């Protein structure tokens, strides 16, 4: 059985950035208004890369993934309190419905290479207008830097997960009944996606038009009819994400989990239109 890694202690520093807010590994910024705000940097053995930080900034500023920034603005009401907990070392990850952010670190049984793209720093799942689920993840380094194939897996629990049991014996809290897998080829020269129904074993391809791989970020759109309920209403689905090297041969090739040891509820923004990739 895999042991859960101990929480890391870290120190926060701040610097001013006019007119912008950075969602960092501390959670989210207090607002997106004008004037100077704080940018949160976390100093730790494995640091948040410029590419990872840039992807988060882009979403905050209305770029790719801004739907998640909208969700965070609605859900996080006391950023200073969150920052204080990070600063004190009380937490190194933060969760709201539909979004999870963490400081990067490999899961203990991983024996693959020390690639930044295997370190997830954020994952999200939000239900948008038209019953479209947007799944997203941010890695700590660009996929284009590697000559190997890797995958980002989004695990979904539609209601049958507990009956099926955990995806990994060492992760009893991660009990999906469907997997959305995005495969990114060497140097990000290609990508593809599949949806696997773990209750039946059936697999369906995802249209390339519904997938976006951009530097460190992976996003995919899934219609509700592609992941029909197995007992839970759509708004009550849960999710988690992980990275893995391909071809997958065991948990030793799983780089990191987000969340690390559980599944969390999806976010709901049914007045927001799905993006066009």
Question: 114 falls in which pLDDT band (50, 70, 90)?
Answer: confident
- Is residue 102 within 8 A of residue 25, CB to CB? The reply is yes
32-55 per-residue burial string, b: 16 or more CB within 10 A, e: under 16: beeeebbbbbbeeebbbbebbbbb
Quick: pLDDT tens for 77-88: 776 676 667 667
67/32: higher pLDDT: 67
Identify whether the C-beta of residue 254 lies closer than 8 Å to the C-beta of residue 244: yes
Assign domain 94-269 one CATH number from 1.10.3470, 3.40.720, 1.20.58, 2.60.40: 2.60.40
Q: What is the pTM of this model?
A: 0.81
Q: What percent of the chain has pLDDT over 70?
A: 74
The band of 75, judged by pLDDT with boundaries at 50, 70 and 90, is: confident
Tens of pLDDT, residue by residue over 228-250, are 999 999 999 999 999 999 989 99
Where exactly are the structural domains of the chain?
A: 11-92, 94-269
pLDDT digits over 203-221, tens only? 999 999 999 998 899 999 9
d(CA 150, CA 16): 36
Is residue 93 a contact partner of residue 82, using CB atoms and an 8 Å limit? no
User: Nearest-CA neighbor of 132 among 28, 192, 209, 39?
Assistant: 209
Classified as helix, coil or strand, 121 is strand
Note the pLDDT of residue 254.
Answer: 97
Is the per-residue pLDDT at 263 higher than 60? Answer: yes
**pLDDT (average), residues 99-115:** 90
Token duo for residue 92? 């190194």
Per-residue pLDDT at 145: 85
- pLDDT higher than threshold 80 for residue 181: yes
pLDDT at 265 over 50: yes
Residues in the chain, how many? 277
For residues 151-170, average pLDDT: 97
């Amino acid at each position: 059985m895999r042991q859960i890694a101990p929480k890391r202690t870290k120190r926060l520093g701040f610097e001013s950035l006019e007119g912008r807010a950075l969602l960092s590994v501390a959670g989210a910024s207090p607002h997106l208004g004008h004037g100077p705000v704080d940018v949160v940097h976390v100093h730790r053995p494995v640091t948040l890369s410029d590419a990872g930080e840039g992807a988060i900034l882009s979403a905050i500023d209305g770029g790719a993934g801004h739907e998640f920034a909208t969700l965070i603005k609605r859900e996080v009401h006391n950023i200073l309190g969150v920052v204080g907990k990070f600063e004190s070392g009380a937490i190194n990850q933060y969760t709201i419905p539909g979004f999870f952010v963490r400081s990067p670190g490999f899961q203990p049984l991983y024996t693959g290479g020390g690639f930044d793209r295997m370190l997830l720093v954020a994952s999200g799942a939000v239900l948008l207008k038209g019953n479209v689920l947007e799944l997203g993840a941010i890695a700590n380094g660009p996929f284009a830097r590697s000559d190997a194939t890797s995958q980002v897996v989004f695990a979904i629990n539609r209601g049958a997960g507990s009956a099926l049991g955990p995806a990994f014996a060492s992760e009893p809290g991660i009990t999906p009944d469907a997997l959305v897998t995005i495969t990114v080829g060497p140097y990000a020269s290609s990508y593809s996606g599949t949806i696997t129904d773990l209750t039946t074993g059936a697999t369906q391809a995802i249209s390339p038009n519904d997938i976006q791989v951009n530097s460190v970020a992976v996003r995919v759109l899934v219609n509700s009819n592609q992941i029909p309920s197995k007992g839970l209403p759509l708004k009550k689905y849960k999710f988690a994400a992980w990275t893995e090297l391909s071809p997958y041969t065991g948990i030793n090739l799983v780089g990191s989990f987000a969340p690390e040891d559980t599944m969390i509820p999806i976010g709901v923004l049914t007045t927001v239109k799905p993006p066009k990739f």
